[in-house]
Chain A
Amino acid sequence: MSGERKTLLHRPDEYAHCEPLFEELGTLGPDDPRRDVVRSKLVTELLPLAEHIATRFSGRGEPREDLVQVARIGLINAVDRFDPARGHDFLSFAVPTIMGEVRRHFRDTGWSVRVPRRLKELHLSLSQGSAVLSQRLGRAPTPTELAEHLNLDVDEVREGLLAGNAYQALSVDKPVHDDAEALSLADTMGEPDHEMAMVENHEALQPLLQELPKRERAILVMRFFGGLTQTQIADRVGISQMHVSRLLSQTLEQLRGKLTGEG
């Protein structure tokens, strides 16, 4: 398995001295003055764990101190929520909890990336080229077709497409007033009740859908409950297929976090 994991988990003794503390914490009532003492001691002893996890996420454009702070918050949450009576050991409970906190931090801070000009230009021509070809072909073009149309090498096209998707913060086809367009699509589509009824957790999904910005919701509904392709959606909404693709995967990821109770 992974080496990092080993340094993190393969020394079960490292935090073994915390076990009696957890047991003691479990016996103390919420108002017991001893509670704060034990809790602080536990958190202090476990601080290296937070550092460890923060280190794993370094080099992704976020200052290390920020990551350590966030990981420590995750650690405190983990200490507070850990229940030794449920038979898990602390590490396997704490590691995902702390990582979840750090991940959320990345999500919230947007993780924006500066894109080199050459890639921006390539992205722009790919985006315009695919709009032209989609019109002509009645479907989304392939990388080979795009390469021919733009007189580019097909590998360059493939990489350009990848770059365009990787940089979520890319702004070339983002309208200036992102939410200003009061998209009435969601209303004109009608409610997709029949399709959604097939989805067991649609009760949980409904309120989350309502929370989405109008355009994101409309795009999601058109793709997953209206059977439209991304190119067709792009056409209706008036943005590029690549932008639709980016919005869709962002929205899915967001929903995923919330449906599984992570967000």
Chain B
Amino acid sequence: MEETRSGGSHGAKPTLEELLEELVELRLPAMAEQIPLVRMLTHGVVSRADFGLDAIADAKMAVDEACAQLVQLAELGTQLHCRFRQGADGLHVTISTRSNDPRPPSDRTFGWHVLTTLSRSVTAHCDVLPGGGAGIVTIELVLNPGTSA
């Protein structure tokens, strides 16, 4: 979009961290049959990060699950926005969509249990849009390469 530098601090000189950051993004229709595309990208990102085979499979399942939860909540015709960013504590995968049920997904479902089993950490939040009635729901996963065992 208009924001071409991943750090995106307006006009200010980017920090070293921002310059070195390799942000990967994908936007696609928030529909169940599009999720395999996110899976493929996830495979690409984590296998290039040289995750172990277990961790690669776990990452794909986690992203699958997060996307499926968000697609359920998404307003018809909106997009799923997926971002992959390497952080000091692991690979951060942030997935969000617009929903007219502005609440984060429940953390007491089996799906959430799946997410917590597969990731180092999972958080969800919802930013209610001005006027209420709709919001941006986000799930953020932190994934580990699984090679330290």
Residues of A bordering B, CB below 8 Å: 1-2, 5, 9, 57, 92, 95-96, 99, 103, 130, 138-144, 146, 158, 161-162, 165-166, 198-202, 205, 223-224, 227, 229-231, 241-242, 244-245, 248-249, 252-253, 255-256, 259-260
Contact = CB atoms under 8 A, between A and B. Distances in A.
B106 interface: yes
Interface in B33-70: 33, 40, 43-44, 47-48, 50-58, 60-61, 64-65, 68
Contacts of A231: 53-54
Contact of B60 (A2, A95, A130, A249): A249
Q: Which of B53, B58, B61, B114 is packed against the most chain A CB atoms within 10 Å?
A: B53
A12 B56 CA distance: 44
Which size bracket describes the interface of B in this complex? 35 or more
Nearest to A229: B54
A1 B106 contact: no
A253 B50 CA distance: 26
Interface of B: 29, 31-33, 40, 43-44, 47-48, 50-58, 60-61, 64-65, 68, 72, 76-79, 106, 108-111, 113-114, 117, 145-147, 149
| Secondary structure type dominating chain A contacts | helix
A144 B44 CA distance: 13
A128 B25 CA distance: 34
Which of B57, B61, B65 is the most central at the interface, judged by chain A CB atoms within 10 Å of its CB? B57
B117 to A, nearest CB: 5
A223 B117 contact: yes
A99 B57 CA distance: 28
Contacts, number: 115
Contact of B114 (A146, A158, A224): A224
B73 to A, nearest CB: 11
A9 B77 contact: yes
A248 B60 CA distance: 11
Contacts of A252: 61, 64-65, 114
14 contacts: A1-B29, A9-B76, A92-B76, A138-B149, A139-B54, A143-B50, A143-B56, A161-B43, A199-B113, A231-B54, A244-B57, A249-B60, A253-B64, A256-B65
A26 B93 CA distance: 46
Contact of A5 (B53, B77, B109, B114): B77
A221 to B, nearest CB: 12
Contacts of A201: 108-110
Given A139-B52, A252-B65, 5 more contacts: A57-B33, A143-B56, A162-B44, A202-B110, A253-B64
Given A142-B50, A201-B110, A260-B72, A1 B77 contact: yes
Given A142-B147, A165-B60, A241-B57, A2 B111 contact: no
